[in-house]
Amino acid sequence: MKIGLLYEPAYWFLLADLVQGLEHEIRLAGGQSYRLTPAMLGQMDIDLVYVLPYDELETLKQIEAERLVINSVRSQEIAIDKIATSRLIIENDLPTPETTISQTPDAVIEILDRYGIALLKSTNLCGGAGHRILRHEGGTITTRRRDRTYQVVFGQRNRILDQTLVLAPPYYVQQFIGTAAQTNDRVYRMYVVGNKVVMGTMRVKEGVNTAEASIINAATGARYEFLQTVDEEMVSLALSLADLIGFEIGVVDLLRDPSGRPLLIEADCDGRHLFICRKFQEVSEYSSPYNFNAHLVKRLAEIADGAPHRP
């Protein structure tokens, strides 16, 4: 097994631990790894290219035309485009919070009229980054940030004017899923490797007492917990979404609604835009069953040996 690791050298300060971890697992599996540049590819005998954050889309497309690339460029582009991912979920009747995707604010106002609260989602960030809670109070739409409340209006360019937040299209808004107190303190993550979910985690945040505080990610104080058993319905949903997006190695995030039903919210994969968070490796309970990189490398070895995979 000869695996090329393609990444942007300028991002080494972010990727060093990940690249070295993958190289270690490739060596343990009896393979060889190479830190690639596009110029090297024509001179190297490698089985496949594994992509990490990398800036040059057209170069990557050229590489994919000549070499096997994991994850596929198509799947990388869908995974980073949260609107495209939501459309796949909705079009295929998979469970997800009620979602509005619109170029005009009418549909946003409608969902706020119905629930009084909604989640404005970023279109191309992951893990809750860039999300905002919108509220409809006394005929005014508001949002809170750093203990300040802003009136929300709609315009052609995102900007803040004193106490007013101007929001530009597209508008990507979901029903806020919470308890009776309108909070939700955990997000479930399924780790997809080929046609299996190899492990699961929760990101849990303590002291969540408002909707704004329930935007869950590691940067806002959430911690990882390993799932001792993974919910079979979550597994099925995660694999269905991986099939639709087309990634071979990735993660799928879910919530539970107040009745306990799992709902898909987004997916991510290693690729040119981002890499899957491995901070769960810092948890004291971390052990070999949760070694995602080992699962990943085992799958790359299978593909290198000719196993079928998502195109």
Strands 99-102, 171-175: pairing kind: antiparallel
Burial class of 140 by CB neighbour count within 10 A (0 to 12, 13 to 18, 19+): exposed
Residue 129 pLDDT grade (very low, low, confident, very high; cuts 50, 70, 90)? low
Average pLDDT for residues 149-178, to the nearest whole number?
Answer: 89
The Cα–Cα gap between 159 and 175 comes to 24
Looking at 142, 175, 208, the residue that finishes a domain is 175
The Cα–Cα gap between 37 and 21 comes to 19
Residue 281 lies in a domain: yes
Lowest mean pLDDT among 211-215, 263-267, 269-273, 285-289: 211-215
Residue 37 lies in a domain: yes
- Tokens encoding 232: 């079979």
| 89 and 185 both lie in a single domain | yes
- Determine the structural domain holding residue 10 and report its residue range: 2-71
**How many C-beta atoms surround the C-beta of residue 293 within 10 A?**
18
pLDDT at position 279 = 93
Q: In degrees, to the nearest 5, what angle opens at C-alpha 191 toward C-alphas 2 and 255?
A: 160
CATH number of the domain where residue 194 is located: 3.30.470.20
| 133 and 90 both lie in a single domain | no
pLDDT reading at 128 higher than 70? no
Amino acid letter, 157:
R
Mean pLDDT for all residues in the chain: 90
pLDDT at position 180 = 46
| Helix, strand, coil percentages for the chain (3-state, nearest 5) | 35, 30, 40
The Cα–Cα gap between 101 and 79 comes to 17
pLDDT at position 59 = 93
pLDDT at position 53 = 96
pLDDT reading at 182 higher than 60? no
Residue 292 lies in a domain: no
Lowest mean pLDDT among 29-38, 62-71, 123-132, 159-168: 123-132
Asked if residue 89 lies in contact with residue 101, where contact means CB atoms within 8 angstroms, the answer is no
Residue 294 lies in a domain: no
Average pLDDT for residues 69-73, to the nearest whole number?
Answer: 97
Please report, rounded to a whole number, the percentage of residues in the chain having pLDDT higher than 90.
Answer: 69
| 201 and 281 both lie in a single domain | yes
Residue 126 pLDDT grade (very low, low, confident, very high; cuts 50, 70, 90)? low
Residue 88 lies in a domain: yes
Residue 177 pLDDT grade (very low, low, confident, very high; cuts 50, 70, 90)? confident
As a whole number of Å, the CA-based R_g of the chain is 21
Question: The whole model's pTM is what?
Answer: 0.92
Residue 118 lies in a domain: yes
pLDDT reading at 225 higher than 80? yes
Q: Phi and psi at residue 202, in whole multiples of 5°?
A: -120, 145
The residue behind tokens 């071979």 is 248
Residue 269 pLDDT grade (very low, low, confident, very high; cuts 50, 70, 90)? very high
Most confident of 59-73, 114-128, 206-220: 59-73
pLDDT reading at 68 higher than 90? yes
pLDDT reading at 123 higher than 90? no
Residue 195 lies in a domain: yes
Alpha-carbon distance values, 305 to 35, 47, 144, 271 (Å): 21, 9, 53, 22
Lowest mean pLDDT among 61-70, 82-91, 206-215, 238-247: 206-215
| 103 and 89 both lie in a single domain | no
Most confident of 141-145, 166-170, 192-196, 206-210: 192-196
pLDDT reading at 277 higher than 90? yes
pLDDT reading at 127 higher than 50? yes
Looking at 175, 193, 211, the residue that finishes a domain is 175
Asked if residue 249 lies in contact with residue 270, where contact means CB atoms within 8 angstroms, the answer is yes
User: What is the tally of structural domains in the chain?
Assistant: 3
pLDDT at position 97 = 94
Residues 6+ apart with CB under 8 A from 282: 224
| 49 and 189 both lie in a single domain | no
Residue 295 lies in a domain: no
| 29 and 87 both lie in a single domain | no
Residue 205 pLDDT grade (very low, low, confident, very high; cuts 50, 70, 90)? confident
